[in-house]
Structure 1
Amino acid sequence: MLLFSTILDINETLTKDDFIRLVIEWNQGSPYTNNIISGIQWNGERNIRYGGDGLWLDIEEYRNQNIIAVRYEKKDDDGAIWDTDYVMNFRTMKMSIRLDRSYTAEALDADPNFSTPHFITLLIERGYLKDDHHLPVQKTATVINDENMRMLVDVINGKNMFNLPVVYVSKTYNDEDPVNVSYLSSRLKGVAHVMIEESNRLNRTIKEQCKSNNEYYGAIGIYYPSHGSNHRRYLYRSAVGYDRFLLERVVRSVIQYSNAQMIDTLLTWQGVNNALLRDRLTSQREERLAAEIARTAAEAEAAKIQDSLDEEERRIRKQAAEDARLEANRLLDSFDDEMQKLQNQVVALTRANETLQFENQGLKAKLDSRDTIPVLFMGDEFEFYPGEVKDIILAILSEAAKGIKPKSRRADIVRDIIKNNDYQKLSEAKAEEAKRILKNYDGMTAKTRQALKELGFEITEEGKHYKVSYYGDGRYQTTYSKTPSDGRTGKNCAQTTINMAF
């Protein structure tokens, strides 16, 4: 599952050695000791692997295209596999950074929390990132004031060129930030530019210059570089916990846009490794052909010489020829073994690529379907997990269909919509999981807390109770007793939670 993807323009000052050193520094400087690979001593190698099966760092150079690809992989105790890829094309001076989480059969089906790689901060601090046209790529927000207001106005009016989305945060009616702007900027470093209004006194001036298309009084606008993606606006609401909810909505919108962008095959780890394997296979075939030609020539030359020798010399020459033939066959056998290994790697990489292609085809089909007239349009509610809104609507329709008179127009329409929208019963599955977790609830154990967290719930303590909120949204909260005395507490908690969230 792709969590994060971005492509950055890099300054010419970054060399291949600088790039590798920076990747190693990123790993060795991690604040989490279980992420650090011990024993890394880099001596200028361009193709080298560090670590073991559950934690490793692999560096591959593709000289033909002047590319260095790096993959860092970590396997968690729950079976989840985290892959972080850095691919630098020194011919185009573009860098791809991608974060992926996959699962083994034992891993929990969770919706992982996203975190941008600290590596982007290192690139910013070392001055390796080029400006995005006229906008600097940074980890802090740009404060919009009287002097630089034109920068924002040109973005809103569509007159400014940029490759990364622009997020504009306006001040609230009380002249406060609607969200934690520093945290927002940190979360979006390398994938978006964040601009914050200095004071709401600027509202009138900005409004006049933007023909009233600007955000104000806490609203947040996302301006995308692609004309195919509409400008998004999120309104501010004064409610406890809404600031965090609003921030997450903005982050998810930007990350989803970034992840959906097309990326060149040679800016991916798998693409580079596929290209390397193809080149190695070609080289192996050429070496094998040369060995076969050399063996045939040697045998012919040996036969010619043997005719002019006496019996003893013929015996010696024959033995030497036999030894040479055996050695040639050994070399050819080793070529066969190496070829099989490479072929197996190609098959594995091709299978992974096909999986990604199917995923992309599904996304393309979803986008192509916009040419047709949808039955419903999305409102302002942001999905907590992919497919949530659609699944809940289909669940409601499926339940309602049970009470609709058969062989009626209403029944045919409802069942047709359910049939043609791939109803996967996601919310039903989550409800069953909630029942399982809370069935024998007698207190908030570490296992119960983790399982609820995996379903999207946040848990805090309030006196004699635990406050449980769904994805941190203050609208969806309930409480669990710390010391339940009723044997039905678990079932009651489960039903309340299900009614609230699913």
Structure 2
Amino acid sequence: MIEWNQTSPYPENVIPNLSWNGEYSMRCGTDTLWLEIEELKQQVVAVRYEKQDADGVVWDTDYVMNFKEMKMAIRLDRSYLEEALKVDPAFSTPHFITMLIQKKYLKKDNGLDVLRTPLLVNEENAAVVTDFLQGKKRYRLPLVLIAKTADGTNPVDVKRLAGRLKGAAHVLVWADTHFRESLREACPKLHFPPGCIDIYFPNQAVGQRRYLYRQGQEKRLLEKVVATVIQYANAQLIDPLYTWAGVNNAIYQERYLNSRAEYEAIEKERRDALHQLLTLQSQREDIREQALADAKKEADKILDGFDEDMQKLQAENAQLHSQVERLEYENQGLRAKINSNPKTPALSMGTEDDFYPGEIKDLLLKTLSEKLESLPKHTRRYDVVKDIIDSNDYQKISEQRAAKVKALLSSYRGMTQKVAKGLKEVGFEITHDGGHYKTIYYGDDRYIVVHAATPSDGRAGKNNAADTIKKVF
């Protein structure tokens, strides 16, 4: 931890003159930049590093090492004070994991190395993927499988993706487009569209998530994959002894029980001393008085030590209570800031991506506009739907695209250069198998329309236009 902090390339993260004196209970730094270490029963060591930025962002990084089980929990939490000026959704796993990987501290995951770089999958190591897909092998970390696009490139920056997910997932990349055939032979029931990214989770109840490649959406696709993996990690139930708060609570309970045992021992000594005093009452006066003075002195010494320990525990309890109150106030402030935003979304986004900027919003508004015409006026549903349409600047982009497709195909006599150019401009990819032409909307196999090379029916173009508009607009 100290090496991580003292060698940081960011000066604002470094605690000046940080050194370890060999104690497992220490704190150093300032109110806005500090590091604290606690130990539980010589088995669990917990470290918290906290940094508060000038813009109101609070970074808490917790490291809990259980030496009995040889397991480590690393938790990075980012919270915002009420005066925070911005909220950045981007996230990466801590750099500390890179150090663990470089020093080879991490155990293999069922034979698979935990890396901060993508693993290139080829014919030689194809079993890493095929055995998993066939259910022969499971991994403790999620598996991110990335297929090549149609032109043989990666759909996202795979090195950046693997770096941001280091320690949280395995990132596997196809060596080339031909590897798809190997997967089809091993798993004939599975289909892998060009450029698709599949995320397989260790918990089979969670299942699989698939994201399709869209040209021009590479950065957004990368962020969605990162967010999905991190959300899965955050949802895992963690043993309290692998959290900073859990370790501190266990230490507090241990100290309380020890203090209680000490108190009971002191009470027993007091009673024994009293019994001795009563016994000595029958003896000579000088001996009795001396024994009384010695017993009183010893009892006062023990009770003074007990009072000091109790005051220390009460101070620690007050500090923990103060921290809880501070976090509660911060959460209340953030809720107030979020709730004060008048533009609260009426719906949450699903897993579909925009094929072009604003596509999903436009299609929803179009659907609502069409439905509005059939709703009786002066009803609640009519007023709510109309209010949403009026408040979202409906641009009718899909209607404009549909009109262009209709004009291109209505008099279709073949896939001319003009028709092909116009279809590509609105997002269609065109393939030709020697007979018919296929237009694929943004490369998504769910939206394919077949066009005859030389149509014999005069209505073929109008029918194709109607099919296309119905499928995608």
Q: 1:44 aligns to what?
A: 22
**Cα deviation digits, residues 4-59 of structure 1 (max 9, x gap):** xxxxxxxxxxxxxxxxxxx2111111111111112222243322222222211112
Indicate the SS of the match to 2:312.
Answer: helix
Q: Answer yes or no: is the 8 Å Cα contact 1:156–1:223 preserved in 2.
A: no
Q: Answer yes or no: is the 8 Å Cα contact 2:47–2:63 preserved in 1.
A: yes
CA RMSD in angstroms, aligned pairs only: 3.6
Indicate the SS of the match to 2:310.
Answer: helix
Tell me by how many angstroms 1:162 deviates.
Answer: 0.5
Aligned residues: percent identity?
Answer: 42
**Cα deviation digits, residues 237-279 of structure 1 (max 9, x gap):** 222xx21111111111111111111111111111111111111
Tell me by how many angstroms 1:172 deviates.
Answer: 1.4
Q: 2:149 aligns to what?
A: 172
Q: Answer yes or no: is the 8 Å Cα contact 1:281–1:342 preserved in 2.
A: no
Q: 2:251 aligns to what?
A: 276
Q: Answer yes or no: is the 8 Å Cα contact 2:277–2:288 preserved in 1.
A: no
Tell me by how many angstroms 1:231 deviates.
Answer: 1.3
Q: Answer yes or no: is the 8 Å Cα contact 1:156–1:214 preserved in 2.
A: no
Q: 2:218 aligns to what?
A: 243
Q: Please give the alpha-carbon distance, in whole angstroms, between the structure 2 residues aligned to 1:93 and 1:113.
A: 31
Q: Answer yes or no: is the 8 Å Cα contact 1:156–1:213 preserved in 2.
A: no
Provide closer, same or farther for how the CA distance between residues 245 and 121 of structure 1 changes in structure 2, counting only shifts above 3 A. Answer: same
Indicate the SS of the match to 1:200.
Answer: coil
Q: Answer yes or no: is the 8 Å Cα contact 2:101–2:115 preserved in 1.
A: yes
Does residue 31 (structure 1) correspond to residue 5 (structure 2)? The answer is no
User: Which structure 2 residues correspond to residues 306-455 of structure 1 after superposition, within 5 A?
Assistant: 306-310=281-285, 317-344=291-318, 347=321, 378-381=350-353, 408=379, 410=381
Q: Which has the larger radius of gyration?
A: 2
Q: Please give the alpha-carbon distance, in whole angstroms, between the structure 2 residues aligned to 1:36 and 1:376.
A: 40
Provide closer, same or farther for how the CA distance between residues 79 and 147 of structure 1 changes in structure 2, counting only shifts above 3 A. Answer: same
Q: Please give the alpha-carbon distance, in whole angstroms, between the structure 1 residues aligned to 2:348 and 2:299.
A: 75
TM norm structure 2: 0.67
Q: Please give the alpha-carbon distance, in whole angstroms, between the structure 2 residues aligned to 1:296 and 1:335.
A: 21
Tell me by how many angstroms 1:412 deviates.
Answer: 11
Q: Please give the alpha-carbon distance, in whole angstroms, between the structure 2 residues aligned to 1:379 and 1:327.
A: 69
Q: 1:143 aligns to what?
A: 120
Q: Answer yes or no: is the 8 Å Cα contact 1:170–1:220 preserved in 2.
A: yes
Q: Answer yes or no: is the 8 Å Cα contact 2:57–2:84 preserved in 1.
A: yes
1:143 maps to a residue whose letter is L
Q: 2:47 aligns to what?
A: 70
Q: 1:253 aligns to what?
A: 228
1:126 maps to a residue whose letter is K
Q: Please give the alpha-carbon distance, in whole angstroms, between the structure 2 residues aligned to 1:194 and 1:317.
A: 77
Indicate the SS of the match to 1:272.
Answer: helix
Q: Please give the alpha-carbon distance, in whole angstroms, between the structure 2 residues aligned to 1:189 and 1:410.
A: 48
Q: 1:456 aligns to what?
A: none
TM norm structure 1: 0.63
Consecutive unaligned residues in structure 2, runs of 5 or more? 330-346, 355-359, 393-473
Q: Answer yes or no: is the 8 Å Cα contact 1:270–1:349 preserved in 2.
A: no
Q: Answer yes or no: is the 8 Å Cα contact 1:85–1:98 preserved in 2.
A: yes
Tell me by how many angstroms 1:328 deviates.
Answer: 4.1
Q: Answer yes or no: is the 8 Å Cα contact 1:295–1:328 preserved in 2.
A: no
Indicate the SS of the match to 1:102.
Answer: strand
2:19 maps to a residue whose letter is Q
Provide closer, same or farther for how the CA distance between residues 290 and 108 of structure 1 changes in structure 2, counting only shifts above 3 A. Answer: farther
**Cα deviation digits, residues 198-246 of structure 1 (max 9, x gap):** 111222232232225243421211111211123111111222xx21111
Indicate the SS of the match to 1:40.
Answer: coil
Q: Answer yes or no: is the 8 Å Cα contact 2:376–2:382 preserved in 1.
A: yes
Tell me by how many angstroms 1:85 deviates.
Answer: 0.8
Tell me by how many angstroms 1:306 deviates.
Answer: 4.7
Consecutive unaligned residues in structure 1, runs of 5 or more? 1-22, 356-374, 383-388, 419-426, 428-502
Q: 1:3 aligns to what?
A: none
Q: Answer yes or no: is the 8 Å Cα contact 2:27–2:37 preserved in 1.
A: yes
Q: Answer yes or no: is the 8 Å Cα contact 1:68–1:89 preserved in 2.
A: yes
Q: Answer yes or no: is the 8 Å Cα contact 1:200–1:216 preserved in 2.
A: no
Indicate the SS of the match to 2:232.
Answer: helix
Q: 1:289 aligns to what?
A: 264
Q: Answer yes or no: is the 8 Å Cα contact 2:92–2:165 preserved in 1.
A: no
In the alignment of these two chains, the number of paired residues is: 359
Q: Which has the higher contact order (CA 8 A, sep 6+)?
A: 1
Q: Please give the alpha-carbon distance, in whole angstroms, between the structure 1 residues aligned to 2:51 and 2:327.
A: 21
Provide closer, same or farther for how the CA distance between residues 338 and 213 of structure 1 changes in structure 2, counting only shifts above 3 A. Answer: same
